[in-house]
């Protein structure tokens, strides 16, 4: 069986259109699958305020600083992580808010602990308050005194 040039061009064009349609269909299917997996299957991320259970204060090597250590749970079911620590200063109060992020796709089914440490400068004769914002709007407060 032999083909002449116009027949070959027509067949080639039909294959190209078919390949193009197939590629578009596969691309659309892949995009739909990714969209469904990130929204319908729990990969959505949501932020929340982490509850701190305790704030420990201990002297540091510096003469005018103290070490602050905050404990709590980022997530009790393993589906979260510490996203960031928001810091603000209001008069003589250092306010911290620990922000967690829920990740339903990466659950380890074990509690994720919050163990945050920072050093705070406390000048001699000054009273500094360290306050951790809680999910219910209250604050866990510790009075810092220079070492």
For the stretch 61-71, pLDDT in tens is 777 889 999 99
Closest CA to 99 of 59, 45, 47, 56: 47
Give the number of other Cβ atoms within 10 Å of residue 98's Cβ. 23
Model pLDDT, residue 42? 47
Residue 33, pLDDT above cutoff 50: no
Is residue 112 helix, strand or coil?
A: strand
Q: What does each C-alpha distance from 19 to 8, 33, 135 come to in angstroms? A: 16, 21, 55
Residues paired with 42 in a beta bridge: none
Is residue 58 helix, strand or coil?
A: strand
The structure's pTM equals 0.66
Q: What is the pLDDT of residues 92-137, one digit of tens each?
A: 899 999 999 987 676 878 899 999 999 998 888 888 999 999 999 9
Question: Rounded to an integer, what distance in angstroms lies between the CA atom of residue 72 and that of residue 60?
Answer: 22
């Amino acid at each position: 069986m032999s083909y002449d040039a116009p027949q070959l061009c027509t067949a080639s064009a039909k294959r190209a259109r078919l390949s193009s349609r197939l590629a578009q269909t596969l691309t659309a299917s892949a995009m739909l699958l990714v969209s469904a997996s990130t929204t319908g299957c729990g990969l959505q991320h949501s932020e929340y305020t982490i509850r701190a259970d305790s704030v420990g204060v201990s002297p540091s090597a510096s003469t005018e600083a103290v070490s602050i250590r905050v404990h709590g749970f980022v997530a009790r079911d393993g589906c979260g992580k510490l996203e960031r620590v928001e810091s603000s200063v209001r008069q003589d109060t250092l306010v911290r808010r620990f922000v967690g992020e829920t990740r339903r796709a990466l659950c380890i089914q074990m509690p994720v602990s919050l163990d945050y440490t920072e050093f705070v400068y406390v000048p001699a004769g000054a009273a500094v308050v360290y306050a951790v914002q809680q999910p219910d709007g209250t604050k866990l407060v510790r009075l810092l005194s220079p070492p």
